[in-house]
Structure 1
Amino acid sequence: MTDNDAAGVTAARLAMLLTAFRPGDDALGVSELARRTGVPKSSVHRLTGHLAAQGLLERDGGAVRLGLKLFEIGQLATRQRGLVDAARPYLADLREATRNTVHLAVLEGTEVVYLDIVRGPDAPRLPSRIGGRFPAHATAVGKAILAFSPEEALERVIGAGLPRIGPRTITAPGLLRRALMKVRTDGLAYEREESGTGVICVAGPVLDARGQAQAAISISGWSNRVHAERVAPAVKTTALTLSRALS
Structure 2
Amino acid sequence: MSATLAKAPRPAAATGVGVVRRITQLLDAFVDAPGHLLLEELTGITGLPRSTAFRLLGQLIDQGWVTHDARGYALGPRASLITTQAHSQEEIRVTAHEQLNTLHLRTRAVAHLWVLTGGFVYCLDKVGGLVDDSVPTGVGTRIPAADSAGGRALLATMAPEAVYCLLADVHRRALSESEQNAVHQRLAAVRAQRGVASEQARNRNGVSAVAVPVTHRGQGIAAVSLAWRGALANADAVVPQLFTAAGVIRARLGS
TM-score by length of 2: 0.57
1:58-207 matches, within 5 Å, as 79-122=88-131, 124-160=133-169, 172-185=179-192, 186-193=194-201, 196-207=204-215
- Maintained 8 Å contact 2:213/2:224: yes
* Cα drift, residue 184 of structure 1: 2.3
Instruction: Please give the alpha-carbon distance, in whole angstroms, between the structure 2 residues aligned to 1:99 and 1:135.
Output: 26
* Cα drift, residue 95 of structure 1: 0.8
- Aligned-residue CA RMSD (Å): 2.5
Change (3 A) 1:222 1:145: same
The percentage of aligned residue pairs carrying the same residue is: 32
- Maintained 8 Å contact 2:118/2:169: no
- Maintained 8 Å contact 1:206/1:243: yes
Code of the aligned partner of 1:207? T
Partner of 1:216: 223
Code of the aligned partner of 2:235? A
The runs of 5 or more residues in structure 2 that have no matched partner are 1-86, 172-177
- Maintained 8 Å contact 2:134/2:229: no
Instruction: Please give the alpha-carbon distance, in whole angstroms, between the structure 2 residues aligned to 1:198 and 1:100.
Output: 14
Instruction: Please give the alpha-carbon distance, in whole angstroms, between the structure 1 residues aligned to 2:235 and 2:133.
Output: 16
* Cα drift, residue 127 of structure 1: 1.7
Code of the aligned partner of 1:89? E
Q: Which has the higher contact order (CA 8 A, sep 6+)?
A: 2
Partner of 1:53: none
* Cα drift, residue 125 of structure 1: 2.2
| Pair member with larger Rg | 2
Instruction: Please give the alpha-carbon distance, in whole angstroms, between the structure 2 residues aligned to 1:136 and 1:105.
Output: 10
The count of aligned residue pairs is 162
* Runs (4+) off by over 4 Å: none
Instruction: Please give the alpha-carbon distance, in whole angstroms, between the structure 1 residues aligned to 2:195 and 2:94.
Output: 24
The runs of 5 or more residues in structure 1 that have no matched partner are 1-77, 163-170
